[in-house]
Amino acid sequence: MNILLYLSGDNITLPKAEANGLIESYTENKNFSKIYEKGRLYIFSCEKFPFERMSMAKIMCEFIAHGENLEDVAKKVAARISGTFRVTSYAIGNFKDPALEQRFGEMIKKHNEKLTVKLKNYENEVMCLYSENSYVSGINKNRENFIQRMPLNRPFTVPVTMHPKLARTLVNLARVKEGAQILDPFCGSGAILVEAGLMGMKIFGKDISEYMIKGCIKNLDFYGVHYGAENLKVGDALKMKKKDFFDAIVTDLPYGRSSFTTNKNLTQLYDKFMITAYNLLKEGKFAIIVSKDGVDYDFYKFKLVEEHMVRVHSGLTRRICVLKKE
């Protein structure tokens, strides 16, 4: 299958890293190949791409064609779809062509007269992304709607919680698929666990605060995420003893708002946790660690695979490290 992603503009490095993480989550994708890449456009070929899991993409399509000649692109689209369709256009850059949707629709129909244009209840939504002299087209794929899980819409929320889009991206960086055992040992209100659970992973959570664990359980129940009672516990993440047990660790370390008031204290906590995390994780698996930027820590025996920065506000930038236990 050929995939067209128009990546989110919220961050420079994370959207493409998320797409690559998802591709690498499935062994079927060993023959992945890149077709085209420019700016936020990312077009590639792979066996399995779970559109419903992807978070940081503005547009997602099954890719059909790209080129400078709209008529050629329309011909390829016409050969690919059947039944009813509508065209939706999206300008990449400042050049706008308000008549493009109608023109492109007519061209497609001309090349396949069995097709019918239908603006509502259509079978195919044909996307046409364009700039002044080039066109990219594919069939739109529905995407996740995060509104219901935004912090203010959750039954339990805290100021340190994470936006569901970022939480989902982190899980996808961990290169795991449905059924994998995933741990958030500093789970707080559970933003990461909710996303992992909704994507079919088996979740495990820990937090030193009973208040947080109770709130996290409320959120998981509310979004219909199932877990075993033994999987969500109050406790100290640094004292977890399981060995080579988890397929992924995805976590947002404490930032030092309460008891950890200095960066030195935080560094100590982060350093200790890295040793615990290394033991908890199976070999060849990934730990996705979010920390407060400016607080350095030792990766212990982990290999740093990639690193991303996310600015939250003037006083807080999150550093995301993708670490591998080799």
Ligand X SMILES: C[S@@+](CC[C@H](N)C(=O)[O-])C[C@H]1O[C@@H](n2cnc3c(N)ncnc32)[C@H](O)[C@@H]1O
The residues of the shown chain that bind ligand X, judged by CB under 6 A, are: 158, 160-162, 185-186, 188-189, 191-192, 206-209, 212, 236-238, 252, 254-255
Q: Is 119 or 234 the residue whose CB approaches ligand X more closely? A: 234
Nearer to ligand X (CB atom), residue 59 or residue 269: 269
Q: How far is the CB of 155 from ligand X (least distance, A)?
A: 13
Output the smallest distance, CB 145 to ligand X, in A.
19
Q: What angle do CA 122, 123, 129 make, to 5 degrees?
A: 85
Sheet-wide strand order for 33-38: 33-38, 41-45, 2-7, 57-67, 134-140, 124-131, 84-91, 116-117
State which residue, 101 or 256, has the beta carbon closest to ligand X: 256
Minimum CB separation of residue 207 from ligand X in Å reads 4
In the bound state with ligand X, the residue whose beta carbon lies nearer, of 78 and 170, is 170
The two tokens of residue 147 are 């509104």
Which residue is nearest to ligand X, using beta carbons?
188
**Side-chain-facing half-sphere of 152: CA atoms under 13 Å:** 1
Query: Based on CB atoms, which residue is closest to ligand X, 107 or 277?
Result: 277
**Helix H or strand E segment including 198:** helix 191-198
To ligand X, the closest distance from the beta carbon of 305 in angstroms equals: 21
Which CB sits closer to ligand X, 247 or 252? 252
Of 15 and 188, the one with the shorter C-beta distance to ligand X is 188
- Both ends of the chain: CA-CA distance in Å? 31
- Describe the strand order of the beta sheet including 246-252 as a list of residue ranges: 232-234, 202-207, 181-184, 246-252, 281-292, 316-324, 303-313
Say if CB 94 and CB 118 are below 8 A apart: no
The answer to whether 16 touches 6, Cβ cutoff 8 Å, is: no
CA distance 91 to 83: 26
